[in-house]
Amino acid sequence: MTRLLALAGVLAAVAAVPFSGRDYYATLMLPFFAYSVALLGLNLLFGTTGLLSFGHALFVAVGGYTAAFLASALQIRSLEAMLLAAVTVAAIVALPVGWLCVRYVKIYFGMLTLAFGMLFYSFLYKFYALTGGDEGIPIGRPSLLGRGFGELDKTTYLIGPYYYYSLALAVVATLVMWRIVRSPLGLSLRAIRENADKAEYVGVRVRRYRFYAFVLAAVFGAAGGVLLVVPTGLAAPPLAYWTHSGNLVFMLLLGGFGHFFGPALGAFVFIFLQDQVMSVTEYWRFVFGAVLAAVVIFLPHGLMGVLTRRADA
């Protein structure tokens, strides 16, 4: 009950941000929604199944590029169509990639996902006709549920209708993932994480379910990718670069991958911390490196670990 109240409180606060008059902070919430969705997928793989992917940005990029391609090449404006296309393409890409990757575990899995991510990054650079090369593909303002909102200027659109659309999508994605984690598959995946050998002997199809987790993760990654490119108006190669995957892993560790809401908290803190530190020093990566080291050493359960320990005490 306390938890539900806390969640409702957080949701109300998030919904109130556009009314605070601080438009800038409202725009910073948009990548937070996008990353929250993408990280639900990454954490299904890592937190639930025990497979750490260093190539999740591949699927974020697949999502972003699919949306931008639809907008630019096919003149499709509907965000729902973009989302549907993005998750479909991501699932199709994840079939062969996942099929290969889940044959390996631990560092081999991590490196293989990293390699596929970089392969896609190179593809984005080289296939200019399809991807726009280093310039990427611009994406205009998509329509939301059939409405174009042409009368609004860009910021009003983003912190108005788009803000609530993103928030709603993040909430829906979270509910769906909540259900997945608590499904029979979710339990089987946790059993695989805990002891894959034993899981097999109690009838769990380890490799098949790891594959399911991989494809589901890709789908959430791509949905997050669509939300991510709309505010910036561009799908560009850095989306798929390995440091982007690294950032996603950082967010997981920062928030705490052992907690369902840890990744979202990690995304939130990451985005606002990055914003603050970047405005102070150009050496923000240095600061972030130090923060990451400190988190790993002092907060192995992430910020959520600190919060929930306080709450339990």
Q: What is the DSSP string of 288-313?
A: HHHHHHHHHHH-TTHHHHHHHHHHH-
Nearer Cβ to other proteins, position 41 or 231?
Answer: 41
Nearer Cβ to other proteins, position 103 or 182?
Answer: 182
- Shortest reach from residue 219's CB to other proteins, in Å: 11
- Shortest reach from residue 209's CB to other proteins, in Å: 6
Question: How many Cβ atoms are within 10 Å of 27's Cβ, its own excluded?
Answer: 18
Q: Does 169 bind other proteins (CB under 8 A)?
A: no
Nearer Cβ to other proteins, position 32 or 209?
Answer: 209
Query: Residues 171-200 vs other proteins: string with x where CB under 8 A?
Result: --------xx-xxxxxxx-xx--xx-xxxx
d(CA 45, CA 109): 11
Q: How many residues bind other proteins (CB under 8 A)?
A: 26
- Shortest reach from residue 305's CB to other proteins, in Å: 14
Nearer Cβ to other proteins, position 77 or 190?
Answer: 190
d(CA 119, CA 61): 12
Nearer Cβ to other proteins, position 88 or 183?
Answer: 183
- Sequence-distant (6+) residues with CB within 8 A of 65 are 124, 131, 137, 225, 235, 239
The first and second tokens of residue 66, run together, are 């699919």
What are residue 143's DSSP bridge partners? 78
- Our measurement of the distance from residue 270's CA atom to the centroid of its chain's CA atoms, rounded to an integer in Å, reads 13
Residues 77-136 close enough to bind other proteins by CB under 8 A: none
Binding positions for other proteins, rule: CB under 8 A: 179-180, 182-188, 190-191, 194-195, 197-205, 208-209, 212, 216
